[in-house]
């Protein structure tokens, strides 16, 4: 149990209706731009939504380390290896910050990790695709980190103090990641014919998952309306997607790399980007567990969890002896 008096681990728990006076005061605070802190009163639904969103975000960071982590040993050259090691380490650190922020709302880290491993919790669609070549690492480092920054800078201006503070730090680090991703992207774009072809192939494969990254179109988004009212999300899915396309499509095109979508163009009248059918059915399949790498990613996390269990036991119960499995 935590300060607010609700029990998350008990699905049968009756949720008391929110006190209307407290709710009005809470919403007035949000309207004034105040930060909500863990000890403050908050509606049950605000707490539940924040746990869902921050937890999914933390899982995404930890799963996001996997496709790039697999390239550390194969990164071309010592400097690229060093940068990639540092980046992957940062991503895992981001997960730690975010799990801590979610814990302030009353869900334990163990419960969050269990929900990830059981497939109950979602994590970002993009990490369920394979990184087949080094160019995939460049696309992830440049375009997916750029997409993440657009999303996280918006969320960092939101209403829940611990999440916003974690995001401020994360965004600083992500902007370094973006620089290393852009550097790797430019190196391939300005490299040999086969390097350019490898990069173009990677952009072709990642284009659609990146469009999906910002979530379903606004009219299909279940949570946006309430989350924007409570300033958890500071921009809608379509607005974030548009902002990303505004900033990064020109940067890719100026390197003579194209997108596999003949309908992709900016409407000069509205300032909005238009694109061909992004196949939202694929998005829903992937986020519901049926993407190309969902099973593999979860299997790796389950293995890591099992192999690290003795360390957690030793830390949590320093008086007890533990069996080191491979000693």
State in angstroms the smallest separation of the CB of 6 from ligand COA. Answer: 19
Q: Count the Cβ atoms, other than its own, within 10 Å of residue 223.
A: 14
Query: Distance (Å, rounded) from C-alpha 76 to C-alpha 192?
Result: 15
Among 26, 30, 47, 56, binds ligand COA (CB under 6 A): 56
User: Cβ closer to ligand COA: 133 or 237?
Assistant: 237
List of residues 6+ apart from 282 with CB closer than 8 A:
208, 212
String marking each residue 62-101 x if it binds ligand COA according to CB under 6 A? ----------------------------------------
With 0-12 / 13-18 / 19 or more C-beta atoms within 10 angstroms meaning exposed / middle / buried, residue 240 is: buried
User: Cβ closer to ligand COA: 6 or 284?
Assistant: 284
List of residues 6+ apart from 36 with CB closer than 8 A:
26, 29, 30, 42, 46, 159, 160, 161
Where in 160-199 is the site for ligand COA (CB under 6 A)? none
How many amino acids of this chain bind ligand COA (CB under 6 A)?
24
Give me the helices (H) in 6-130, please.
Answer: 20-31, 44-69, 78-103, 109-117
Residue written as tokens 């990303």?
244
Task: Name the nearest CA neighbour of 141 among 201, 241, 65.
Answer: 65
Q: Is 151 in the site for ligand COA (CB under 6 A)?
A: yes
User: Cβ closer to ligand COA: 111 or 198?
Assistant: 111
Q: Is 213 in the site for ligand COA (CB under 6 A)?
A: yes
String marking each residue 113-132 x if it binds ligand COA according to CB under 6 A? ---------x-xx-------
User: Cβ closer to ligand COA: 29 or 122?
Assistant: 122
Q: CA angle at residue 42 from 93 to 218, to 5 degrees?
A: 70
User: Cβ closer to ligand COA: 203 or 238?
Assistant: 238
- The full DSSP string for 81-114 is HHHHHHHHHHHHHHHHHHHHHHHTTT--HHHHHH
State in angstroms the smallest separation of the CB of 291 from ligand COA. Answer: 10
Q: Which residues bind ligand COA (CB under 6 A)?
A: 52-53, 56-57, 60, 122, 124-125, 148, 151, 155, 212-216, 221-224, 227, 233, 237, 287
């Amino acid at each position: 149990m935590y300060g607010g008096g609700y029990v998350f681990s008990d699905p049968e728990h009756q949720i008391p209706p929110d006190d209307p006076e407290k709710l009005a005061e809470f919403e007035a605070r949000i309207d004034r731009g105040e930060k909500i802190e863990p000890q403050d009163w908050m509606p049950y639904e605000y707490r539940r939504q924040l746990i869902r969103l921050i937890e999914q975000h933390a899982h995404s960071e930890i799963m996001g380390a996997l496709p790039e982590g697999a390239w550390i040993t194969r990164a071309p050259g010592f400097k690229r290896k060093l940068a990639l090691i540092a980046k992957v380490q940062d991503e895992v650190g981001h997960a730690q910050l975010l799990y801590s922020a979610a814990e302030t709302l009353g869900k334990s880290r163990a419960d969050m990790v269990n929900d990830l491993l059981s497939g109950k919790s979602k994590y970002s669609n993009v990490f369920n695709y394979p990184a087949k070549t080094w160019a995939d690492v460049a696309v992830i480092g440049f375009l997916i980190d750029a997409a993440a920054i657009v999303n996280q800078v918006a969320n960092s201006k939101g209403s829940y103090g611990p999440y916003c503070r974690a995001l401020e730090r994360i965004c600083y680090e992500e902007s370094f990641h973006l620089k290393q991703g852009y550097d790797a992207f430019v190196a391939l774009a300005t490299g040999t014919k086969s390097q350019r072809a490898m990069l173009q192939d990677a952009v072709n494969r990642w284009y659609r998952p990146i469009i999906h990254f910002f979530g379903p179109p606004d009219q299909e988004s279940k949570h946006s309306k309430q989350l924007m009212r409570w300033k958890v999300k500071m921009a809608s899915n379509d607005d974030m997607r548009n902002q990303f396309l505004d900033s990064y499509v020109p940067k890719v095109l100026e390197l003579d790399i194209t997108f596999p979508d003949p309908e992709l163009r900016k409407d000069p009248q509205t300032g909005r980007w238009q694109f061909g059918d992004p196949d939202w059915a694929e998005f829903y399949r992937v986020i519901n567990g049926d993407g190309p790498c969902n099973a593999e990613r979860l299997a790796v996390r389950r293995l890591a969890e099992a192999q690290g269990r003795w360390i957690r036991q030793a830390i949590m119960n320093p008086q007890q002896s533990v069996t080191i499995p491979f000693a």
